[in-house]
Amino acid sequence: MSEALKVTLDRRDELAVIYTEGYINNQGGEEIARVAFELIDKGEKIVLLNLQGTKIVNSIGISILIEIIEKMLEIEGRLAFCCLTPTIEKTFHIMGLTQYSSIFPDEAAALADLAAG
């Protein structure tokens, strides 16, 4: 479980998509936060996290994702997630992440909803 998280970015017209591959622990969460906060600093208000390549998120990783959600709320932005495993989706619901962010089954559904506003 010590594999480093790989993060890639794809900027779209009105939003940015962050793709993850690997374990979201403290280091992985911090890497996602670094990319997300850079986007926010550049004026991005809509960020989609595609977790198709992630099978495990630990509690520290979740706490860092909550920090990103809080920052998005401060700027009246929106953070959404797609392509979660059933376990990660259930964990996000239990931990309350879905109260302030959206979860979509796939990227196409997420992009359609986020582009619509």
DSSP 8-state assignment for residue 85: -
Instruction: Give domain 6-110's CATH architecture.
Output: 2-Layer Sandwich (3.30)
Summarize pLDDT for 15-51 with one digit per residue, the tens.
999 999 999 999 999 999 999 999 999 999 999 999 9
pTM of structure: 0.94
**Beta carbons within 8 Å of 88's beta carbon, 6+ residues apart:** 51, 54, 55, 56, 57
Residue-range domain boundaries for the chain: 6-110
Structure-block tokens of residue 2: 């010590």
Summarize pLDDT for 72-107 with one digit per residue, the tens.
999 999 999 999 999 999 999 999 999 999 999 999
Q: Count Cβ atoms within 10 A of the Cβ of residue 17 and give its class: 0-12 exposed, 13-18 middle, 19 or more buried.
A: buried
Rounded Cα gap, residues 85 and 51, in angstroms = 8
